[in-house]
Amino acid sequence: MKFLILDRDGVINHDSDHYIKSVDEWVPIPGSLEAMARLYQAGFRLAIASNQSGLGRHFFTIDDLHAIHRKMVRELANLGCQVEAIFFCPHTPEANCFCRKPLPGLLQEIASRLQIDLTGVPCVGDSWRDLEAALAVGASPILVRSGKGLRTESAHATELSRQGIPVFTDLAEVADQLLVA
């Protein structure tokens, strides 16, 4: 069975520099949920790995975050899709934790808890730290231009090219590519 790890904000839903703090602020990027459903129905196991420093900054509560995730899971279920697990880092950058991307702890936790080898597993993100975390565990990073992806592509064009990291418009385009591979 194939596996796919996704960042949340900027990949699945619209991102905000002011954080996604409530169910009302969580708005899927057009085509993202459908892309996840197509991948799931084609045999991919899906997991989400997301930095959520808004928790550590007290911009929202754990109950708010769970409500957002329940909404996402419900909308995916309506499309015939299940996410196997949602992993998140609640810490601020100043906490220097091991689970905050770009460090590999969150992805290593996914591997341990779901008993998978991350070697070559596609990891989709919109920020350089998402891609660095994937590289650190031997996964295959993929950049999307949605969210902060255009800025990431511009700021890290040389590294993207040198590392051979593919860049796609959005998650729907990633799904198209993975489903023909």
Active site residues: 7, 9
Q: What is the CA radius of gyration of the chain?
A: 15
CA 21/CA 122 separation, integer angstroms: 28
CA nearest neighbour of 140 among 169, 170, 165: 165
- Residue corresponding to tokens 């590289």: 135
Cβ proximity of 71 and 23 under 8 Å: yes
CA 113/CA 86 separation, integer angstroms: 11
CA 31/CA 18 separation, integer angstroms: 23
Cβ proximity of 177 and 170 under 8 Å: no
Two structure tokens written together for 170: 């959005």
